[in-house]
Structure 1
Amino acid sequence: MTTGAVTESFPESSEPLLPTKRRWEGEDGGGDEAAFHEFNGASFAGAVFNLSTTIVGAGIMALPATMKVLGLVPGLVMIVLAAFLTDASVELLMRFSRVVGAPSYGAVMGDAFGWWGRRLLQVCVVVNNVGVMIVYMIIIGDVLSGTSSGGEHHYGVLEGWFGTHWWNGRFFVLLVTTLGVFTPLACFKRVDSLSYTSAISVALAVVFVVITAGIAIVKLIRGQIPMPKLFPAVPDLASVWELFTAVPVLVTAYVCHYNGTR
């Protein structure tokens, strides 16, 4: 058997959507993916919720900011374009993961680009996750403990409910959140174990959209919403570079590839 060879062959019509018991041997003779045969696949509901919460995450909160920068028409075009590119790349990834019998994104990269390609991908995924986690921490701190800008303090949820105390300060809230929420969730061995929290995340995202749409409709009826700009304002060269700040937001809002083949 050659390196990266297919260990099992399935007819196209009977290829399972979710992974089954299958051992994929990478270039290092098993290595990181050798233990995959111990896992008999994820549940269908768990796979749906995990993939949904990866796609529909905190990125939806940043999409209005991109629309403000790009304008309504280019913003909608970029959102649709990013959606098509994501769909095409995920379809490509899933198709070739079935061809080589690889159980993960890293395994596909290893088959195509070797050991260094797989390690480079893993580093990029770690950097992306750390960056997104920092963004989440900033959002949590702003929402729960408030934030100050321009000499004005915007109260958070805990400050608005209970007043200003040491235990609802930014440092203590983030410390409790990290040790009590993020750390236990990060200790799970398999992503499928996060299916319940992913379901809650998707439900909260729907609640966020419903509340935001309700507020927008009420303000629109009252005439409190100005006409949004259709195209970006580009008075100088600095404004042109500002348009590119919308690109990472749109890309991150659709990223789900590293959970697509699990």
Structure 2
Amino acid sequence: MPAGDQKRRRILNSTPLLPQNRHNLDDSAFPSESGFSGSSFSGAVFNLSTTIVGAGIMALPATVKQLGMIPGLIVILLVGILTESSVDMILRFSRASKSNSYAGLVGDAFGGAGRSLLQLGIVVNNVGLLVVYMIIIGDVLSGTWSEGEHHLGLMQEWLGHQWWTTRSVLLLLTSLFVFSPLISFKRVDSLRYTSALSVGLAVIFVVITAGVTIIKIINGSIATPRLHPNLVDRTSFLKLFTTVPVLVTAYICHHNVHPIDNELKDPTQMKSIVKTSIILCSSVYIATGFFGFLLFGDHTQDDVLANFDGDLGIPYSSLINDVVRISYCLHLMLVFPIIFFSLRLNLDGLLFPYAIPIAFDNRRFFLVTALLMSFVFLGANFVPSIWDAFQFTGATATVSVGFIFPAAVALRDTHGIATKKDRQVSWVMIILAVSSSIMAIFSDINTFFISNKLTGT
């Protein structure tokens, strides 16, 4: 074997999940990287912000409806602050352990079992997110049922009820002609332009929602919003905790921190990139929760896009509805590949821990990609609603990936760099994550049995 090939194979075998940080290698090790000088600050901000602002934004008005306006907005802000703290922990402890992946960091602290458990958590979380994205896309294009009412999709409004406007056919066409090209990229920086566009589309959604709300405030057609939760019995109290998994899911981005960091032109910028992204996304989230709940009140759906299919009470209501739904549907289509990127990496690392990186094995890249895409497609056709998906993934895998693992790494402190503040914040994150998840799961079980009693099943 030529000396260059031997050198490349030794390097690849030393990094089973992700390629080494590009700053630690020479160009001869990765000839395919020649001409790539590293991703920029703005490109990294857009990629990380796109990772954060996904389907979770659509459930935030319903979250504020559950908690009330004041507690809802406060909790959105607090979860953003905790998210920044947990990502900062990941970065600092990764630098200390010289880990180039989240799984590598956890493996350094807890060994192979911890590494595999984290990878499994990321796989479950990301699959759940992508299923939610496809559900929302299906709702927008083909319509959905909510509380006994059918909300028409765009294709059904424009073309009527045809076989090609059914949910499964539209999702299949989207998977083949939109997702397939986008998930074929092997470097996360290749998605920087689609990420920038997706963030812009999310901002457009917020601006339109705010504009409609302000117009209705001026003409006096909006009622005063409920400022506090409506607690009438034990069930209504327990339902407050079901909002926590949704909020954690809305901010989850930890699985893409290392892929973005590894491709940076200047790795010292990563902390500023995280802070900028969290501030940007928190602002979008607070605005969405505020104006979405103010606009629709107690009629706010679990997926607020479902509210944009009727008369908004202002001129050009139908046109505005279509623009909102189209823009956010396109946003989710552009978010999909960046979440899929880390999903593929972590599933490959879980199944083939000692193989060369998947980017250098075209056959494995294709097989893993096809398997995951098929599974997500099937999930989107059988999971009933985004709230159900959020509750399952958010109360289990998401809180683990976002809070429990970073806190556990800090408490383990194998390199002796944890501060007193790190330990305090870590315990707060673990207690909040575990307690809220238990309560959310208990609330879901309680609601399930109550609904069964009411229906007589």
TM-score between both structures, scaled by the size of structure 1: 0.83
Note the 1:1-262 alignment, pairs <5 A: 29-33=14-18, 37=25, 38=30, 41-262=38-259
Amino acid at match of 1:200: L
- Deviating above 6 A after TM superposition, structure 1's stretches of 4 or more consecutive aligned residues are none
Q: Which residue pairs with 1:13 in the alignment?
A: none
Secondary structure at the residue paired with 1:249?
helix
Instruction: Measure how far apart 1:62 and its partner are.
Output: 1.1
Cα RMSD after superposing both structures: 2.2
Greater fraction of residues in helix: 2
Q: Which residue pairs with 1:6 in the alignment?
A: none
Amino acid at match of 1:77: I
CA–CA distance in structure 2, aligned partners of residues 158 and 122 of structure 1: 38
Instruction: Measure how far apart 1:152 and its partner are.
Output: 3.3
Q: Residues 71, 151 of structure 1: CA spacing in aligned structure 2 closer, same or farther, 3 A cutoff?
A: closer
Instruction: Measure how far apart 1:29 and its partner are.
Output: 4.7
Amino acid at match of 2:99: A
Instruction: Measure how far apart 1:225 and its partner are.
Output: 1.5
Contact kept in structure 2, 1:147 and 1:155, CA below 8 Å: yes
Q: How many residues align?
A: 238
Contact kept in structure 2, 1:146 and 1:159, CA below 8 Å: yes
Instruction: Measure how far apart 1:150 and its partner are.
Output: 4.7
Instruction: Measure how far apart 1:35 and its partner are.
Output: 5.3
Secondary structure at the residue paired with 1:187?
coil
Contact kept in structure 2, 1:49 and 1:199, CA below 8 Å: yes
Q: Any unmatched runs of 5+ in structure 2?
A: 1-10, 260-457
Matched residues, percent identical? 58
Instruction: Measure how far apart 1:139 and its partner are.
Output: 0.6
Secondary structure at the residue paired with 1:32?
coil
Amino acid at match of 2:143: G
Secondary structure at the residue paired with 1:229?
coil
Instruction: Measure how far apart 1:86 and its partner are.
Output: 0.5
Contact kept in structure 2, 1:51 and 1:259, CA below 8 Å: yes
| Worse-superposed segment, 57-66 or 149-158 | 149-158
Instruction: Measure how far apart 1:183 and its partner are.
Output: 2.9
Instruction: Measure how far apart 1:34 and its partner are.
Output: 5.3
Q: Any unmatched runs of 5+ in structure 1?
A: 1-24
CA–CA distance in structure 1, aligned partners of residues 211 and 68 of structure 2: 22
CA–CA distance in structure 1, aligned partners of residues 80 and 166 of structure 2: 38
Instruction: Measure how far apart 1:123 and its partner are.
Output: 0.7
Instruction: Measure how far apart 1:223 and its partner are.
Output: 1.7
Per-residue CA deviations over 1:189-209 (Å, capped at 9, x if unaligned) read 222222222112111101111
CA–CA distance in structure 1, aligned partners of residues 197 and 18 of structure 2: 30
CA–CA distance in structure 2, aligned partners of residues 171 and 196 of structure 1: 29
CA–CA distance in structure 1, aligned partners of residues 157 and 166 of structure 2: 12
CA–CA distance in structure 2, aligned partners of residues 192 and 146 of structure 1: 34
TM-score between both structures, scaled by the size of structure 2: 0.49
Per-residue CA deviations over 1:163-192 (Å, capped at 9, x if unaligned) read 332212211111111222223323322222
Per-residue CA deviations over 1:132-180 (Å, capped at 9, x if unaligned) read 1111111111111112345532211122223332212211111111222
Q: Residues 85, 64 of structure 1: CA spacing in aligned structure 2 closer, same or farther, 3 A cutoff?
A: same
Contact kept in structure 2, 1:97 and 1:103, CA below 8 Å: yes
